[in-house]
Structure 1
Amino acid sequence: MPFDHNDHYHRLLLRNLPPEGSPNGRPGGRTALDIGCGTGRFARRLAARGYEVDALDPSAEVIAEAEAAGGGPRFRRADVTKEVLPAAHYDVITCLASLHHMPFDTLTRLRDALAPGGTLLVLGCYAGTTWWDLAASPANAVARMTVYASERLRGTHEPPLKAPVRQPDMRLPEIRTEAARLLPGSSVRQLLFWRCLLTYTKPTGN
């Protein structure tokens, strides 16, 4: 089915971007890093907002498709757990449904790459099932069928390229505990469709 849980939250992520203008007062354009960018749909939305975007993914196949689509970001095949990131550089760092592919403390590498006053947005996946997830199941089925039927009627349905999938192994309470330890002042909000949103703003004194 074509309904994508991550794409569903693009608008929420965009609403959580810093206000217009560099949040740290530095001259020049705003900079963003998109981790696990896949085929680049969200990275292109950041670029459309005026960000200079570096978009990284370890999969050669999805990076090739992202580069073919173009749209402004600088796409590059890279493993962020090994990549040397510029210190205190990015105004925004985003990570959509890819943190569970890495050690959770990769968050500290992303924190260090944030400019003072910069924002980290992680759309995460978690293990286990909560009552909230049980409520999401019928909504998920309706959304998938609605999108599928609409695309079939328009004749636009094509199976999307799928990035590598890994099941998360951290439950939501553990994510909240570890996020608070690694990123004091961060918040973790549970969302529908088995997702959570971690937000963090780096103090301007760092």
Structure 2
Amino acid sequence: MPFNHNDHYHDLLLRELPKSCRRALEVGCGAGRFAQKIALEGIEVDAIDLDEHVVAAARKQSSTLDLPGRIRFQQADITRLTLAPNTYDYIACLASIHHVPFETVQKLRASLTANGVLVILGCYREATLWGHTVSLLAIPVNAVWRTAVFFRENWPGSRADQGALSPSAPVALPSMSLAEIREKSSAYLPNRRIRRLLFWRYLLVFRNMQAGLVGDY
């Protein structure tokens, strides 16, 4: 079934693009679909992933597209990669932060421009009754979406080019609960906003040098 939880939230993440964004970084780019959407806005994108096979497939697929912005794919470990300060207007992490120490967000924050934005679409460990309840509620909704996407993708004439399936990126179980993420993020990313999403994800938005937006929503 083709429904992808990360892809489902792409539009939500794109709403956080700064108006004057010129250069972006995606950490854990996977198949490169979100990097492509950023490049469609005319933005230069550095897209990194630890898995070399995933990066190679993403680079090959994106090379066939005519995009206003350029994408530079790189196989790299974000914990070892040197990021220059004041470089990126927008940094996105899609289901990737739980693969590395959460303290890595400090390195990302340091590489933001003065008014840069960091967005994290993250995974968390369920640790509360309410959290488990939300997860259970998401199951039937997830089934409906998966079925709808399946029929839309397979309807005659709906896709001009099916293409080959991209290799899957490695997965890992999140170790931090949402409460722990809220606590640590408030220390590393002052004035961040964070909220729980339906499909086993949370959204964190940090705007550099912007006051008065602290809290959860």
Whether TM-score is above 0.5 comes out as yes
User: SS at the partner of 2:169?
Assistant: coil
Q: Tell me the distance in 1 between the aligned counterparts of 2:41 and 2:107.
A: 25
Number of the residue aligned with 2:214 = none
Structure 1 residue ranges, 4+ long, deviating more than 6 angstroms after superposition? none
- Provide the rounded CA distance (Å) in 1 between the counterparts of 2:78 and 2:87: 15
Who is 1:91 aligned against?
89
Where do 1:94-133 residues align within 5 Å? 94-128=92-126, 129-133=131-135
Q: Which residue of 2 aligns with 1:135?
A: 137
In structure 2, the gaps of 5 or more residues are 212-217
1: CA distance, partners of 2:132 / 2:178: 9
1:149 aligns with 2:151: yes
Match of 1:49 in 2: 41
Distance 2:167 2:147 in 1: 19
2:200 maps to what in 1? 194
Per the alignment, residue 215 of structure 2 pairs with none
Matched to 1:197, the amino acid is: L
| Contact kept? 2:31, 2:166, Cα under 8 Å | no
The residue that corresponds to 2:61 in the other structure is 69
Whole-Å Cα distance in 2 between the matches of residues 46 and 59 of structure 1?
Answer: 21
For 2:196, what is the secondary structure of its paired residue?
A: strand
Aligned-partner SS, 2:114: strand
Residue in structure 1 matched with residue 14 of structure 2 by the alignment: 14
Superimposed CA distance per residue, residues 109-142 of structure 1 (whole angstroms, 9 cap, x where no aligned partner): 0000111110000000011143222211110011
Answer yes or no: is the 8 Å Cα contact 1:119–1:201 preserved in 2.
yes
Cα gap change, 1:157/1:141 in structure 2, threshold over 3 Å: closer, same or farther?
A: farther
**Alpha-carbon distance between aligned partners in 2 of 1:157 and 1:148, rounded to the nearest angstrom:** 16
* 3-state DSSP of counterpart to 1:93: strand
Aligned residue identity for 2:11? R
1: CA distance, partners of 2:78 / 2:49: 8
Runs (5+) with no aligned partner, structure 1: 23-29
> How far 1:69 moved relative to its partner?
1.2
Please give the root-mean-square deviation of Cα atoms over the aligned residues, in Å. 1.8
Counterpart residue number, 1:26? none
Q: Does 1:32 align with 2:24?
A: yes
Q: Alignment partner of 2:6: what SS? A: helix
Q: Helix, strand or coil for the counterpart of 2:91?
A: strand
Q: TM-score, normalised by structure 2?
A: 0.85
CA contact (8 A) 1:37 1:57 kept: yes
CA 1:158/1:145 → structure 2, altered by over 3 Å: closer, same or farther? farther
Structure 1 residues 102 and 5: alpha-carbon distance in aligned structure 2, compared to 1, 3 A threshold: same
> How far off is 1:191 after superposition?
0.5
| TM superposition shift of 1:84 | 0.4
